[in-house]
Structure 1
Amino acid sequence: MQIGKFSCVFFVLFATAALAQTAIPRKLRGKLKTDFATPEGFYVINLKTEQAEITDEGGYFSIAAMVGDTLLFSAAQFKGIRVVLTSDDFGEKLFSVQMVPIMNQLNEVVIRRHNDINAVSLGIIPANQKSYTAAERKLKTATSLNPTASAGSMAGGSISIDPLFNLLSGRTAMLKKELIVEKKETYLAMLDEMFDIDHYINKFKIPLDYVKGFKYYAVDNDKFTKILDQKNITTTEFLLGELATKYKEIIAGENK
């Protein structure tokens, strides 16, 4: 009888210790692999804790996780991969995941080369000219010092005083604000292309009257806009979910 009780107590203690080991988050170190690209800047997201990490230039990452957690591996032009972690994944060997690119198959591709016809050859723009948006062009014009030849000046040339005038008059600050507004409008348009209004209401549980405000709230977040620039719908939606939770807390506080 004593032996039986001892065995039972030992089993309970052993099971408790084993359970405790699996319940404590540990650092999972791993590496992403690809056949066609350097796996730098890929996202590793723990869907349970909502923690996100980014791979370094070698594709390596480190993230807190435990047995049973689901990790999402995501990047632009690659299929999202979900992995449910087991105890074997926390061994001495490096945890590795092979990323699969998204291949768009076309029925037929016909290529006709017209290399001699372009905006430069047609005289529309000078060679090697950088393209700017309307707001960027205005800001560049207002802040650039443009040396011009002048035989009557002592130094053999003169410099436009427009940038100094614009700085003192506040026009430069105004143009910088215009550039910020233009970028936000671009981000808002990108969101409209990715998700319709029903997605915000049904998926993120944002009230209809607050959807527009939530979009502005999202594009004010620098971390989010960096993700949005990559046009990765999976990661964008994940971060929108995080922002939606915070935004609903703000709404609740305002309605008290």
Structure 2
Amino acid sequence: MNKTALKTRFAPSPSGLLHLGNIRTALFNALLARRSRGLFLLRIEDTDQERSSEEYVTALMEDLRWLALEWQEGPEVEGEAGPYRQSQRRSVYQADFQRLEAEKLAYPCFCSQEELERVRKRQLAAGQAPRYPGTCARLSPEEVEGKLAAGFKSALRFRVPSLTTIEFEDLVRGPQRFATGDIGDFIIRRTDGSPAFFFSNALDDALMGVTHVLRGEDHLTNTPRQILLLQALGLPIPRYGHIAMIVGRDGAPLSKRHGSRSV
């Protein structure tokens, strides 16, 4: 298989059993790869160690095989871009955290959840879309060193460029445009040192050679953030397609309260 072959992926979080929406996403990605004689990759996104369980990893792989959704790259099959569990890729993420911080493209954020919630409420009350106001982006190097020396815990935020428009052609929804002024600087590493979804998900897609990402439309607003990250790191950007969600009669995404079952 040459390196330019189409490659899709299914990247579940093992925090529960696969449900209908998960399988629909996996099916579309597997079928796209199969039609194009490409590769279908499985990646386990288990950075949240408190919620992730080996029992669910085993179950989701059994469910995929039962449905004949075999993966050509990933756990138990392996490949050149492994490991395929994000919990085993911390050193990969750390190297790029350091690179972004060294290039002033990311900065430590000491804001507490309480502070952020107060800002969010003020913005909503003023009719504004909630976004980070850039409080810690204005700290001097001396102030940052002082807070770290005093034992303050910090997250790491990506510095979103101002007055820029992110455009991409969605495989399902067509042309998309997002103004970076509406996004705000976002967290890429949590205070416990674990990578945020925006970061590890995008980075691994690029490093694993994923060319096409089909996922639910609830991820559409994640895409400009991930494009910004990949551009900053000089990594290839996959083509994205956002499919409609499976919803209940109330129009909300299908869940247990609608009687949604596991596979």
TM over 0.5: no
For CA contacts below 8 A with separation 6 or more, give which structure has more relative contact order. 2
| Higher share of residues assigned helix | 1
- TM-score scaled by structure 1? 0.28
